[in-house]
């Protein structure tokens, strides 16, 4: 009853507006956290320093109240993180230079799990994968964030398996020669940049380039176009093919080639704006109130 009264008051106040939109109260938006927890067991690129945390104090102080605080150190490219375009291209944006408007965009999810299962860990996303996706789901919109779901993210808790080190061989902690995990092919990256003008590319593996890459061509293509990448994404299996917004909230690190990021997907709910008044016409408050009462 109170909600209907609120709409009645709003209708009385807004009746003379030339354009009027009604927002129907429908189920809330779904938030998907695409970020892994950061801890000593988090995945860091093998040649980088691991995450280190120091407990400075935890407990009651002399005055009788509780206090705790820690210090930590981590590489820019560790855990769920964003690669700035400058990471592999001189003169492109570093982290703090990326316009905030380019850290947000409509998301699309390209699922290549079946391909990885059939072709192995060294699989790459191809242009054919993208055009096939578009045939089913429609064109990838301009200024979007493309997220590649390989299924590899399920292994994040097992460093050896996630980095794809072959079983039965001994590797050092900084080994980068024996990495095996899926990535995005150079031609697919170039197609996304040139044909679809994306702002960002994300993946549920340690790198947008596959593990066996030696020239990091996908990184270089993205960097040259001032397109960022996000690596080590979590819970990508929870996303639909399209119909969500991506927010890549990277640490604003001055001069950074990358940085830790809290990446969220806001999956669109059924909230819709209905235009009930056309230009030049007037809807009286009583009619509006009756309409709203009927809808609710």
- Are both 169 and 290 inside the same structural domain? no
- Are both 84 and 113 inside the same structural domain? yes
* Residues sharing a CB contact under 8 Å with residue 243, sequence separation 6 or more, in sequence order: 267, 268
What does the pLDDT look like over 122-178, one tens digit per residue?
A: 999 999 999 999 999 999 999 999 999 999 999 999 999 999 999 999 999 999 999
Whether 61 is in a domain gets the answer: no
CA separation for the pair 141, 21 (Å, rounded): 25
Band (290; pLDDT cuts 50, 70, 90) = very low
- Are both 257 and 288 inside the same structural domain? no
- Give the pLDDT confidence score for residue 283 in this predicted structure: 38
Band (270; pLDDT cuts 50, 70, 90) = low
Q: Does the structure show a pLDDT above 50 at 215?
A: yes
- Are both 111 and 180 inside the same structural domain? yes
Contact between 44 and 78 (Cβ < 8 Å): yes
Whether 154 is in a domain gets the answer: yes
What does the pLDDT look like over 57-93, one tens digit per residue?
A: 999 999 999 999 999 999 999 999 999 999 999 999 9
- Give the pLDDT confidence score for residue 286 in this predicted structure: 44
- Are both 90 and 125 inside the same structural domain? yes
pTM for this structure?
Answer: 0.82
User: How does the average pLDDT of the chain come out, rounded?
Assistant: 87
- Domain that includes residue 16, residue range: 2-26+277-295
- Give the pLDDT confidence score for residue 267 in this predicted structure: 95
Q: What's the mean pLDDT in 267-284? A: 44
- Are both 176 and 240 inside the same structural domain? yes
- Are both 131 and 217 inside the same structural domain? yes
- Are both 168 and 230 inside the same structural domain? yes
What does the pLDDT look like over 106-137, one tens digit per residue?
A: 999 999 999 999 999 999 999 999 999 999 99
Whether 55 is in a domain gets the answer: no
- Are both 21 and 131 inside the same structural domain? no
- Are both 90 and 219 inside the same structural domain? yes
- Number of structural domains in the chain: 2
Q: Does the structure show a pLDDT above 60 at 289?
A: no
Q: What's the mean pLDDT in 93-110? A: 98
25 half-sphere exposure, CB direction, 13 A CA radius: 8
- Are both 149 and 9 inside the same structural domain? no
- Give the pLDDT confidence score for residue 268 in this predicted structure: 85
- Are both 199 and 284 inside the same structural domain? no
Whether 253 is in a domain gets the answer: yes
């Amino acid at each position: 009853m109170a909600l209907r009264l609120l709409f009645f008051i709003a209708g009385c106040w807004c009746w003379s507006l030339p354009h009027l939109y009604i927002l129907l109260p429908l189920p809330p938006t779904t938030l998907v956290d695409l970020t892994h927890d950061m801890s000593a067991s988090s995945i860091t690129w093998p040649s980088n320093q691991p995450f280190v945390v120091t407990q400075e104090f935890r407990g009651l102080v002399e005055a009788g109240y509780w206090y705790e605080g820690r210090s930590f150190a981590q590489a820019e490219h560790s855990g769920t993180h964003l690669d700035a375009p400058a990471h592999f291209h001189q003169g492109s944006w570093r982290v703090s230079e990326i316009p905030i408007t380019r850290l947000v965009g409509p998301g699309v999810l390209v699922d290549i799990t079946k391909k990885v299962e059939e072709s192995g860990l060294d699989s790459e996303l191809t242009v054919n994968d993208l055009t096939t996706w578009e045939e089913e789901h429609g064109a990838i919109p301009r200024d979007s964030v493309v997220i590649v779901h390989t299924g590899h993210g399920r292994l994040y808790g097992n460093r050896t398996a996630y980095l794809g080190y072959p079983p039965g061989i001994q590797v050092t902690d900084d080994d980068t020669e024996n990495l095996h995990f899926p990535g995005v092919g150079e031609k697919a990256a170039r197609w996304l940049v040139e044909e679809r003008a994306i702002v960002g590319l994300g993946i549920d593996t340690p790198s947008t380039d596959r593990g066996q890459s030696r020239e990091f061509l996908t990184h270089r293509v993205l960097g040259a176009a001032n397109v960022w990448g996000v690596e080590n994404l979590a819970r990508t299996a929870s996303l639909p093919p399209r119909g969500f917004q991506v927010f890549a909230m990277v640490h604003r690190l001055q001069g950074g080639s990358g940085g830790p990021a809290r990446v969220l997907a806001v999956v669109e709910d059924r909230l819709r704006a209905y235009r009930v008044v056309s230009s030049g016409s007037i809807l009286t408050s009583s009619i509006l109130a009756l309409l709203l009462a009927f809808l609710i």
